[in-house]
Copies of this chain bind each other. A is one copy, B any other.
Amino acid sequence: MTILRPAPLTQDAFAPFGEVIEVTGEAIEINQGTTERYHDLARVDVSAEGGHPLINIFRGAATPLPFEVRMLERHPLGSQAFLPMEQVRFLVVVAPPGDTVAPDQVQAFIAEPGQGVNYARGTWHHPLLALGQTTDFVVVDRGGPGDNVDEVHFDTPLVIEPLT
């Protein structure tokens, strides 16, 4: 059994996997100063093979901890962004793009309230891992023709222990 320890979710640490979507950097002031626009926070990469963007809501059940990571998936034809519709934490488990995943390439992060993620096209990631309560997420991903999901399965699970 291998323990997988979640790290804080930062732009730098997550850069190999996509983007952290959060209020950061310079805002553009719009609407007569009543709104700050944090502009173009993710690379929405969904047009391969005739694809187009979708907006969905994913309702994710709370993940029981400890949790055994036994598989990851990837979307070879498009990016996929997750943004919670509540101010809550959630778990992010990823591995770099590539044909296979070695267990020691897997990384876990804790998204803090106000943070979302965009998985770059081809980035291995675990399906949605809400924490604490059932949570709705805005999901921006790809619709269109083609087979857009691959999976890898691990012989030995990676274990995420209860968070402190």
Contacts and interface: CB of A to CB of B under 8 A. Distances in A.
Interface of A: 21-23, 27, 30-32, 34-42, 44, 46-47, 52-61, 63, 81, 83-87, 114, 116, 118, 127-128, 136, 138-140, 143
29 contacts: A21-B57, A21-B138, A23-B57, A23-B136, A31-B128, A34-B61, A34-B63, A34-B128, A35-B60, A35-B61, A35-B127, A36-B58, A37-B56, A37-B57, A37-B139, A38-B56, A39-B54, A39-B56, A40-B55, A41-B56, A41-B57, A44-B55, A53-B140, A83-B83, A83-B85, A83-B138, A86-B87, A114-B136, A138-B138
B35 A46 contact: no
Contact of A35 (B30, B39, B58, B116): B58
Contacts of A86: 85-87
B55 A41 contact: yes
| Count of chain copies | 2
Contacts of A30: 58, 127
Contacts of A23: 57, 59, 136
A157 to B, nearest CB: 14
A55 B36 CA distance: 14
Contacts of A127: 30-32, 34-35
Closest 9 CB pairs of A and B: A31-B127, A36-B59, A53-B53, A38-B57, A44-B53, A42-B55, A34-B61, A83-B138, A40-B54
A59 B26 CA distance: 12
Contacts of A87: 85-86
Contact of A37 (B32, B38, B58, B61): B58
